[in-house]
């Protein structure tokens, strides 16, 4: 069974839409934890009779990692799944993700992420370096190659949908709350590889992401993005190169 963690930051309508999809796959779900990061309406409370729903209202705003770490404290299942409210499910993603997360050396599995136009988003990527950032700035693409494989081992997978083995999440001490927003996913995947775990992209599973692209539109999000990137470089890139263990 699975514990699902969703953080809503004034995204009640998106959260309600995601919950309506999760109802269809109720048999796989032990608990759905929704954290209201800011005060908002209760439009998703209607799902309390349809899902094992736990709603937490924060007294103060927390970062991405801190919120999901808070949810994990309530996790009593073998698997812990993180979803953004702007995810929509095409079909049941859990059986394949779960089957590929059973190996003792696997920390997290993730699906292919499509945008609303059915185009693959760059949710599986190489670890960032100064050189790769310059390349991305020029070319606008740092996607990890899939090459028609069922399972791919990217450097890291983006945090809009992460399916963790709960024991691995616990062993990694969850997300590093030093990152308030952005690069928490890069960091935990970095630590996973360095700890001997694998990161898997399951290309047979697909979800839709209605991306907000906040860092492209609002200065405060852009600032958080840049600050988190700088913190990541301070933590890793100015030390030994990141190596995967395969």
Residue 243 located in a structural domain: no
- Residue 242 included in any domain: no
Question: CATH number of the domain that 50 lies in?
Answer: 3.90.550.10
Per-residue pLDDT at 130: 63
List of E strands, the chain: 2-8, 29-36, 53-57, 79-83, 87-89, 106-114, 124-125, 151-152, 156-157, 161-165, 198-209
Percentages helix, strand, coil for the chain, rounded to the nearest 5? 35, 25, 40
Assigned token pair, 24: 């269809």
pLDDT of res. 148: 81
- Asked whether residue 244 is domain-assigned, the answer is no
Number of domains in the chain: 1
pLDDT in tens, 30-40: 999 999 999 98
Cα 228 to chain centroid distance, Å, stands at: 16
Domain for residue 23, yes or no? yes
Backbone angles phi, psi at 238, to 5 degrees: -95, 15
Largest CA-CA distance found in the chain, in angstroms, rounded: 51
Q: Is residue 246 part of a domain?
A: no
Tell whether 41 is covered by a domain. yes
Does the pLDDT value for residue 245 go beyond 70?
A: no
Question: What predicted TM-score, i.e. pTM, was given to this entire model?
Answer: 0.88
Q: Which long-range contacts (CB under 8 A, 24 or more apart) does 227-235 make?
A: 227/180, 228/179, 228/180, 228/181, 228/182, 228/183, 228/184, 229/128, 229/133, 229/182, 229/183, 231/178, 231/179, 231/183, 232/128, 232/179, 232/183, 232/186, 232/187, 233/128, 233/130, 235/178, 235/187
* pLDDT tens digits, 191-236: 999 999 999 999 999 999 987 654 445 667 777 777 777 787 777 7
For residue 245, is it within any domain?
no
Residue 137 makes CB contacts below 8 A (sequence gap 6+) with none
> Which structural domain range is residue 204 located in?
2-237
Residue 139 in tokens: 């070319």
pLDDT digits (tens, 9 = 90+) for 38-77: 998 877 878 989 999 999 999 999 999 999 999 999 999 9
Residue 26 lies in a domain: yes
The first and second tokens of residue 113, run together, are 């992420």
Question: 102-160, pLDDT tens digit by residue?
Answer: 999 999 999 999 998 998 888 998 888 766 655 555 445 556 777 788 999 999 999 99
pLDDT value of position 122? 85
Q: What is the pLDDT of residue 241?
A: 42
């Amino acid at each position: 069974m699975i514990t699902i963690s969703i953080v809503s930051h004034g995204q009640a309508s998106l959260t309600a839409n995601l919950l309506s999809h999760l109802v269809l796959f109720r048999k796989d779900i032990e608990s759905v934890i929704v954290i209201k990061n800011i005060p908002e309406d209760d439009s998703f409370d209607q799902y309390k009779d349809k899902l094992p729903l736990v709603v937490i209202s924060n007294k103060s705003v927390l970062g991405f990692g801190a919120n999901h770490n808070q949810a994990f404290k309530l996790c009593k299942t073998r698997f812990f799944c993180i979803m953004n409210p702007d995810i929509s499910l095409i079909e049941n993603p859990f059986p394949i993700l779960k089957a590929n997360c059973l190996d003792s050396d696997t920390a997290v599995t993730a699906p292919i992420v499509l945008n609303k136009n059915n185009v693959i988003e760059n949710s599986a990527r190489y670890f960032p370096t100064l050189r790769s950032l310059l390349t991305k700035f020029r070319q606008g693409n740092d996607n990890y190659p899939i090459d028609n494989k069922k399972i791919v081992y990217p450097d890291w997978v983006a945090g809009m949908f992460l399916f963790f083995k709960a024991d691995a999440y616990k062993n990694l001490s969850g997300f590093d709350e030093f990152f308030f927003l952005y690069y928490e996913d890069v960091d935990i995947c970095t630590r996973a590889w360095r700890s001997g775990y694998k990161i898997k992209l399951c290309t047979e599973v697909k979800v839709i992401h209605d991306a907000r692209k906040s860092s492209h539109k609002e200065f405060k999000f852009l600032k958080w993005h840049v600050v988190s990137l700088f913190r990541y470089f301070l933590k890793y890139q100015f030390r030994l190169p990141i190596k995967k263990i395969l």
